[in-house]
Structures are given as C-alpha cells and as structure tokens.
Amino acid sequence: AAGVIQSPRHLIKEKRETATLKCYPIPRHDTVYWYQQGPGQDPQFLISFYEKMQSDKGSIPDRFSAQQFSDYHSELNMSSLELGDSALYFCASSLDKDRGKLDYGYTFGSGTRLTVV
C-alpha cells in the first residue's frame, strides 16, 4: 500500500540557508500535518492543511512557511536556518471525513532529518 513519502530523507544546511521539505500524502487523504521533533523531544505540531487551506497552526516560527498544492502534496519552507532548527521533521496525512469513525488515524512519513551546521 502507498505510504506517506517525505523527501529528502536527510538534509544538511548551513546557518542562514534555506531548506524545502516535501511531503506526498496517502492518495485520497485530504489533510496534511507537519511536526518537528528535536533531539530527545516529542514531536511538536507545526501546521496543518485541509483541502489545500491552512487548518491549524502550532509553534511554527515566522521563518517557516508551508503550503499544500493542488495535487495535495505539501512543502515546508524554512529560511534563515538556525542551529536550533536541527531536528527530525515528520509529515502525516489523514482523511478528515473518517474523523469519528472507529478506524480514524494518521499515516506518518519516515521523516526528514535536517542538520544545520
């Protein structure tokens, strides 16, 4: 079965550079979530999109922006990178109309490990 695809798997950037992370959700899933997991931390919600519109926003720095495109893939753009942005970035997708059903859930990608040097 198709899974959530994240690219790249690993990324090394220097301080003040820009990075773009991509997420391809499960086909027919209409909601995408982005999470940031720092070393030794739990995943923290950044932002989500439903049907290509931003649906919720967490502790996402102003230097970060994201969008969901017409084919439902999403990109997280990170500018002026700082050392503290080094983390594992997860994307997850879900089908909103399944909320309330017994089998509602999320499918996570394998993550993008960003290292800022």
Q: Contact positions toward other proteins, by CB under 8 A?
A: 31, 33, 35, 42-45, 48, 50, 55-56, 58, 88, 90, 92, 94, 96, 99-100, 102-108, 110-111, 113
Min CB(96)–other proteins separation in Å:
7
Nearer to other proteins, 4 or 81 (CB): 4
Min CB(74)–other proteins separation in Å:
14
Q: Are strands 53-57 and 44-50 parallel, antiparallel or unpaired?
A: antiparallel
Nearer to other proteins, 64 or 90 (CB): 90
Are 58 and 46 within 8 A, CB to CB? yes
Are 52 and 72 within 8 A, CB to CB? yes
Are 3 and 106 within 8 A, CB to CB? no
CA–CA gap between residue 10 and residue 7 (Å, rounded):
8
Min CB(45)–other proteins separation in Å:
5
